[in-house]
Amino acid sequence: MEKKSLLKKITGSREASLVIVLIILCIAVTIKSPNFLSAQNILEILKNNAVIMIMALGMLCVLLIGGIDISITSTLGFAGMTVGIMFKYGMISNTLLGFVIATAMGALCGLLIGVIIAYGKVMPIIATMGFMYIYRGFAYLVAQDQWAGADALGSFKDFALSNSLSFGLINNTVTVTIVCYVIFFIVLKWTKFGRSIYAVGSNPEAAEISGINVAAIKTAVYTIMVRWRACAAPSQLLYMPPLSQTCKPPKRWTLLRPASSAASA
């Protein structure tokens, strides 16, 4: 058997090719801005993208089972706005409780989507598109034309901006993101549930024959992974405008005369 050269192995791997492109981009940006690869700047990039990185974990599992979820941002907005309003009006003040409420909401939202897709046999893109508008509507109902920005989060804002979890080394949101990725890696690589996800995504019929409950796995993936994404919901409020900036109602335009008369004129 002919051995492939190192160059062919690299160019034949999509992951390796992406890494090479990323390295080239980093070098180009560093030449333009030497501070780009500094430790401080990298930590700032990680902190600013912590929410997206956690959301990507949930989306990856959904993609692994051959599904799609376009309700991701609506779920995040619904959970984030709910927790933000609760912080704003003093209903809760504990950071851990805020995470628990957000993750519980995410789990319930994901369970509804998973049951409809797995047991109702609805196409994932159709189901998640419908729930995208439903959860977005719920977020508007919770907000009631109000805004919950960073200054409404109280103790959570202090937690998210501090470095207490890593003994002063890195930001807490980055630490939480790293922990999420470690847990995610362990579950997918070394647990029965993780291997079942790969099996269902590879061949659902073969997985069913081998004894895997495909419907239960799909429901669990949407439930757990939407909850995973929702745990990042409170963090997104740190990037919202202050409370003084409220949602203004849209302008209403009035047609002075019918289009037909305007055309005849």
Q: Amino acid identity of 35? A: N
- Separation in Å, CA 235 to CA 79, 128, 188: 11, 23, 25
Q: How many helices (H) and strands (E) does the chain have?
A: 14, 0
For residue 238, the model assigns a pLDDT of: 52
Q: Which pLDDT score is estimated for 250?
A: 45
CA distance 236 to 121: 33
CB atoms within 10 A of CB 59: 19
Q: Determine the pLDDT at residue 263.
A: 47
What helix, strand, coil percent values describe the chain, rounded to 5? 70, 0, 30
Q: What is the pTM of this model?
A: 0.75
pLDDT along the chain (265 residues), means of 10: 63 77 90 87 86 85 90 86 85 83 88 93 93 92 78 71 79 86 91 92 91 92 74 54 42 47 47
The reported pLDDT for the residue numbered 218 is 92
Domain ranges of the chain: 14-48, 49-246
State residue 11's pLDDT score.
Answer: 66
Q: How far apart are CA 77 and CA 138, in angstroms?
A: 9
* C-beta of residue 231 within 8 angstroms of C-beta of residue 101: no
Task: Check if the beta carbon of residue 58 is closer than 8 Å to that of residue 225.
Answer: yes
- How many Å apart are CA 64 and CA 201, to the nearest integer? 5
The pLDDT, as a whole number, for residue 119 is 93
Residue 148 burial by Cβ neighbours in a 10 Å radius (0-12, 13-18, 19+) = buried
Spell out the alpha helix ranges (H) of 93-191.
95-118, 124-143, 155-161, 172-190
